[in-house]
Structure 1
């Protein structure tokens, strides 16, 4: 009847596309119903018809799984009762599920942000493992889920470890998940342990023979590089005790120590990064290894205003006057960062560099530390004569000048005047000792006040 109506009026009436689609769908359903009834007219075919109808229902269910939001919600929420109803067969458990995410994308051509939709292939096991729904993961594995399937380019173990779901990772590994599976992006599960809550996952992976020195495909980073980059001191300790190579270099020639010093730029995480650097050095990391743009760990630590790491590197033989590709020394790096790290006492770094033999600073660089009187004092005490202040005096903020007026006025009074004999003697001795100031002066049998003076103790004025 439907077929007759659509044929009869096709040339008589104008149907909208949606109307035509509706008619086609109804016609298909009618055809299927006619076939079912025809099969049931013959008793010997009733059993075959029942099987066919069952297969049809399952086929439709599998196709609906791909985009059914109710199914996706059940998996995301860990609704075990619904999951038991939906995922009964091996085919359903391993069905590919399509998800859509919306991301902001910057268009340089249009000069604005646009919302774009991205489709991603996944599976029920991946979604459950990503959300940490252990009971759901167990049900899916018990019904034949492929533990090493990677419909979206990564396995369920990748997603479980990336999100720190230890119980899910344990379950997947016990079923035979590959701890060294490489994702489409070139990462093993161990590379995705990038937060403190992933520590137990990392431990589980290593206990199941994950390769601790496996490198990523893109930048050739090891798990040790990645843990050091994120300041994960417990991860670093774990990897080193599983024989991670502290001297291993990535594609850019950087070791884990380079990575730690490069990313130690948040004061609230300074303590963790210091522990990481100390462990790496104790396990043989070379403090002189230069990586990207010829930056050494000391360049990076100075650029990030981390006084404790700077001291640690210097005590282990870091090259105080090494130059990077731009020709900058570690001293140049800290002077360029003074204003950003005032609360971290950049003068401590400057004094340590000077006591380890840092070369003289061009007076033009004084402008960069105009907001830090303590840093300026340390530098001025390496000059036998105070240079002209024209290059920096106008850069001092009024509030800083008022707070440290005694210091700044003492500088002005000493311009082009001879320094004290005591200061000149200090300069002579320090020039003689060079890089040995930090080690020799404390060994001299001098009063504490004299030793501190020689090591550039800050006093708050210039004389």
Structure 2
């Protein structure tokens, strides 16, 4: 109970309590650096996070350790920066807190501040020398994080502090443009296209381009900007042989499929180097609404991949009975692939087996 009261006092900014703390209460001595068992927080962590400036200053003046880490590796400066408590950030920095201290996974206070629209906090951290080029364990910089969150004012603030911040990639080779495109941050994407010099189809370690990220997430305004301004290709392939249309079909993003086919006149049966079509990919994932749209848009249900497999093979192997039924009703032929395997030979689930048995019994 005593411990709980101690940390509640910090949470409520109870300065009177902490001015009398040096007494031995209930047989247990609590100090300014006592850490909470569940989180490892000290009173200074909590006061900084909650924005209790007067208490923060008192704790510092009384000798609280400003560099103690909690169980997440956060120091009081991390907490204040993430919460946007700019006055507490300033107090801690003036007291000598390390501006680029690292928490777990190598996140700095600046990185945490960039997860929210904490413009004043970010300005202050950079004024005290925060390094905008430091990377966390995944290779993300503060600029990456700001681009993910989509706060254009923060992205601009970092860029105009150092206009080389866009020239970065994470450990898996993802650029800030990838990040902004994936999260649909159209204003940030537009700014990056204005200020950065990105190639049309920069790829991460999986071969994914920013356009692919935008398309499979349904961010068609972003996709349109990448195509019109960056000349990104709708026929580029990732490491798995999938083009943007294939990825939209795979994720079941019908709006992106329609955008590519109807707005951009992407070939509905565009085949990759591995012979994949959007219909084959959609059939594998059981994306029936996409399958239906593609067929109604003229997709050939009997096209094969490089192994001679049709969409029916793929759907049967994935045990998607509704997709198999739709394909059979729209002209899919039961034929052998390059290994001599027919779609019905791939069925395991009783309902899929019965579907093929009934179809063959009817002689269709």
Q: 2:289 aligns with which of 364, 371, 375?
A: 371
Whether 2:285 is the aligned partner of 1:350: answer no
Runs of 4+ in 1 over 6 A off after TM superposition: 385-388
Partner of residue 222, structure 1: 141
Please name the residue that 2:130 is paired with.
Answer: 210
Q: 2:243 aligns with which of 316, 320, 329?
A: 329
Q: CA deviation at 1:78?
A: 1.3
Q: Is the 8 A contact 1:305 1:337 kept in 2?
A: no
Aligned match of 1:261: 181
User: Structure 1 residues 188 and 304 mapped into 2: Cα distance closer, same or farther (>3 Å)?
Assistant: same
Aligned residue number for residue 240 of structure 1: 159
Q: 1:277 to 1:138 in 2, by over 3 A?
A: same
Cα 1:151–1:370, aligned 2, differ >3 Å: closer, same or farther? closer
Alignment-derived partner of residue 134 in structure 1: 53
The reply to whether residue 156 of structure 1 matches residue 76 of structure 2 is yes
CA-atom RMSD, angstroms? 3.9
Q: Which runs of 5+ in 2 are unaligned?
A: 24-28, 272-276, 304-310, 316-320, 331-364
Structure 1 spans left out of the alignment, 5+ residues: 1-63, 102-119, 265-269, 402-411, 413-463
- Deviation for aligned residue 1:141: 2.2
Larger radius of gyration: 1
Q: Indicate which of 92, 105, 119 corresponds to 1:172.
A: 92
* Change in 2 beyond 3 A, CA 1:298/1:69: same
Residues 1:278 and 2:190 aligned together = yes
Aligned counterpart in structure 2 of residue 72 of structure 1, from 1, 4, 7: 7
Residues 354 and 94 (structure 1), Cα distance of their counterparts in 2 relative to 1, 3 Å cut: farther
Is residue 2:103 matched to residue 1:189?
no
Q: Aligned pair in 2 of structure 1 residues 337, 154: CA closer, same or farther (>3 Å)?
A: closer
8 Å Cα contact 1:161-1:189 kept in structure 2:
yes
Question: Which of the pair is proportionally richer in strand?
Answer: 1
Deviation at 1:352, TM superposition (A): 4.4
TM-score w.r.t. the length of structure 1 is 0.56
TM-score, normalized by length of structure 2? 0.70
* CA pair 366-162 structure 1, distance change in 2 beyond 3 A: closer
Q: Aligned partners of 1:154 and 1:80: how far apart in 2?
A: 23
Partner residue of 1:98?
Answer: 35
Alignment check: 8 A CA contact 2:246 2:278 kept: no
Q: Distance in 1 between matches of 2:142 and 2:100?
A: 12
Asked whether 1:145 is paired with 2:64, we answer yes
